Structure 1
Amino acid sequence: MISDVDEVLRKLLVREIEIKGNEVDIQFDQPKREWSSRLSKPTINLFLFDLRENLRLRGSEQYFTISKPDGTSEVRRNPVRMDLRYLMTAWVKEAEDEHLLLSSALMGLLRNPFLPPDLFSDRLKNQPHPCPLEVATFPPEVGPVDKFTEIWGVLDNEMRPGIMLTVTISVDPYHPLIFTQVRTREMRFLQDSSIGKPATVKITKKLSKKYWVVSGALKSQKYDLSTLSLILVEKQQPVELEEAGRYSLSGLAEGDYHLDISFNKKIIKRQKIRVPSDDYDIQV
């Protein structure tokens, strides 16, 4: 993941500032004193010094469910939006040349508010969101290193002008959970006379008859599901159609029921269902 982002930044800089041949190096090492003393040509250094989750982009719903036609449901967790923070510096003997190289890199990156997808490796091509590239901005939250002077103190090197880069990518380390969809649930109620009564009173407990909660899906290749409506005939009760035509009925005793499917207030089909049963899907 990190190496893929490094490579995108490398390719982006080469393209934007028109580096020809090997006249300028782009490296990702820690810019320590020992490293800088070995440089033999102009170099742009991109030092990754911080990784953290972008909490501003974390959604309120951490999980989502995908219902599949084979009767299973797939529960997935949303990917983590991670911020990768780089310190970009230019290393040239003369200060004027250093500033010129750093300015060229700055202008090139500012032209790209997002990482260009055409530079993505195979592992980055399935990003669910565009990858923002923030240039020369400091993060709003407090972090372990918030000043360039602190970074140079850790690296034990002479301070250089630097530019903060923040790349935000989506990371999905989670495996989906597969469950069989529940089509029928049985409910029973217990009437307990002991509630709110003293212990000397005779206690009776009575178990109610069985009630069922059932769910199925309305399917159609001819009609748009948003134009159809569903009514439980025995109760004259409208039934709400959810995403992908799914519906549920609750509080049903054992027996036969009928569902009217309507289009433009005209009944186009009456479907008989048996409660309980294994399948409540309806094809129109």
Structure 2
Amino acid sequence: MIHEVDEGLRRLLGESGLEASGVEVVFDAPTRDWAARRSAPTVCVFLYDIREDATRRGSGAGEVYDADGYLVARRSPPRWFELTYLVTAWANRPQDEHRLLSQVLATVVATDTLPARLLTGTLAELGLTVALDTTGTGDVAPSAADVWSALGGEMKASLQVRVRAPLAGATRRTAPPVTEGLVVRSTARSEGGEATPGRRLRYKEATDPGPDGFAGPRERGPAPARRRRGDRRP
């Protein structure tokens, strides 16, 4: 999920015209060594804090259906995480850096969510809202000064962008539907007696399996007992 949020942010900033103007969008840690190697105007989007939003943790399991409306799997509810990014601009002059940072700020505050068209992978499959804001970090998250101190670099103007995104739950496939019932046969006690016809306990509409039982070759019809979306039967 984290790399999918990265891709969504990269696409969002790309639509603002940064990449078209030759500005690189990277997700590296802006350390002193990295800054010394930089050669082109760059917007650095550094992920430095990941925390679960426990207040949104759900329970139970959702149902996954195929294209025909049949139940094929069950999925545990997604868990929500807050990803906090330190966004900085790097250029030869402070004025250029501020211009780039202003462009990023205008792009981020123009939307409260990452647009669905920019989402990929599990974020696109879940179809849930991925919130986006620049309100800063929570009380427990490191401050910008602490982040710069840990990186070993000199503090500079930056934005703190927070994304709230879902992590898809585990998916468990459902067992294939039962299409054949149990057949019980009895045999005569005397030697050489022939088996009596089988008695089917369920699915009376199914045909007798024959002398070879269910191990013999047979044609499989459609699954009449498969559950469709909206079926309320127990």
TM-score category, normalised to shorter length:
0.5 to 0.7
* Match in the other structure for 1:142: 140
Q: 1:67 to 1:111 in 2, by over 3 A?
A: closer
Give the deviation of 1:127 after TM superposition. 2.2
Aligned to 1:6: 6
Larger Rg, first or second structure (1 or 2): 1
Please tell me the residue identity of whatever aligns with 1:7: E
Secondary structure at 1:44 match in 2:
strand
More strand by share: 1
Question: Given the alignment, which residue of 168, 178, 188 partners 2:164?
Answer: 168
Aligned counterpart, 1:50: 49
1:40 and 1:105 mapped to 2: Cα distance? 20
Structure 2 gap segments, 5+ residues each: 66-70, 177-229
1:178 positional shift:
4.6
Please show how residues 178-189 of structure 1 align to structure 2 within 5 Å.
178=174
8 A contact 1:63–1:75 mirrored in 2: no
Q: Residues of 2 paired with 1:246 and 1:153: CA distance?
A: 61
Contact 2:79 2:167 in 1 (8 A): yes
**How far apart in 1 are the matches of 2:76 and 2:19?**
44
Pick the structure with more helix per residue.
Answer: 2
For residue 175 of structure 1, report the CA deviation from its aligned partner. Answer: 3.0
Secondary structure of the 1:14 match is: helix
- Aligned equivalent of 2:85: 86
1:38 maps to which residue?
37
SS in 1 for 2:51: strand
Q: Return the alpha-carbon distance in structure 1 between the equivalents of residues 127 and 116 of structure 2.
A: 12
Aligned residues: 178
Between the two structures, name the one with larger relative contact order (CA 8 Å, sep ≥ 6): 2
Residue identity opposite 1:131 in structure 2:
V
Give the fraction of aligned pairs with identical amino acids, expressed as a percent.
30
Q: Does 2:124 match 1:158?
A: no
Q: Secondary structure at the match of 1:3?
A: helix
The question of 1:99 aligning with 2:98 is answered yes
Calculate the TM-score normalised by the size of structure 2: 0.66
Deviation at 1:91? 1.0
Q: 1:19 to 1:66 in 2, by over 3 A?
A: closer
Contact preservation (8 Å) 1:65, 1:73: no
Distance 2:154 2:57 in 1: 38
CA distance in 1, matches of 2:30, 2:93: 18
Gaps of 5+ in 1: 181-242, 248-284
Structure 1 residues 249-282: Cα deviation after superposition (integer angstroms, max 9, x where no partner) = xxxxxxxxxxxxxxxxxxxxxxxxxxxxxxxxxx
Alpha-carbon contact 2:64-2:75 (below 8 Å) kept: no
Q: Pick closer, same or farther for the CA change 1:74–1:29 going to 2, 3 Å.
A: closer
- TM value normalised by structure 1: 0.55
1:63 Cα deviation from its structure 2 partner: 1.1
Residue 83 of structure 1 deviates from its aligned partner by 1.5
Q: C-alpha distance in 1, partners of 2:19/2:64?
A: 52
**Contact preservation (8 Å) 2:60, 2:77:** yes
> How big is each residue's C-alpha offset from its partner over 1:91-150, in whole Å with a ceiling of 9 and x where there is no partner?
1221121111101100111112111111122443112411101124322x413x2x1110
SS in 1 for 2:18: coil
Given that residues 45 and 88 in structure 1 are in contact (C-alpha distance below 8 angstroms), is that contact kept between their aligned partners in structure 2? yes
1:63 is the counterpart of 2:88: no
